[in-house]
Amino acid sequence: QVQVVESGGGLVQPGGSLRLSCAVSGVIFKFYAVDWYRQTPGKQRELVAGISSGGAMTNYADSVKGRFAISRDNGKNTVYLQMNSLKPEDTAVYFCNAQRKRITTPEDYWGQGTQVTVSS
């Protein structure tokens, strides 16, 4: 089966950094675009960042642009989210979504999430 596993979350002080990883197995990874989402109890799920299957195109939410960076290593079947200058507002469960953007039969796989807590 397809597996999407996030890791790297934890507790960090404001201004600190974390690097999240999203490991995907069971698919030909180079065909899949990947998005990072986050969700808190008081907010709707938010698209944080995305990267195309080849890694050439990226996009970011305005709230994280300039602080977060998404990248991928197709040789390791892994997408990363480097989070710098973290703020308490970044506290959330972060989810990874791997998508094959195929017209006929698109595919979409979610991970279980990893908790990020930014607090002093």
Count how many Cα atoms sit within 13 Å of the Cα of residue 116 in the half-sphere of its side chain: 31
The three-state DSSP-derived secondary structure of 30-48 is: HHCEEEEEEECCCCCCEEE
What is the C-alpha separation between 17 and 80, in angstroms, rounded? 13
Q: What is the pLDDT of residue 102?
A: 84
Strand 10-12 versus strand 114-118 pairing type: parallel
Q: What is the pLDDT of residue 42?
A: 84
Averaged confidence pLDDT in the chain: 96
Q: How confident is the model at residue 71 (pLDDT cuts 50, 70, 90)?
A: very high
* pLDDT over threshold 90, residue 101: no
Q: What is the pLDDT of residues 12-55, one digit of tens each?
A: 999 999 999 999 999 999 999 999 999 998 889 999 999 999 99
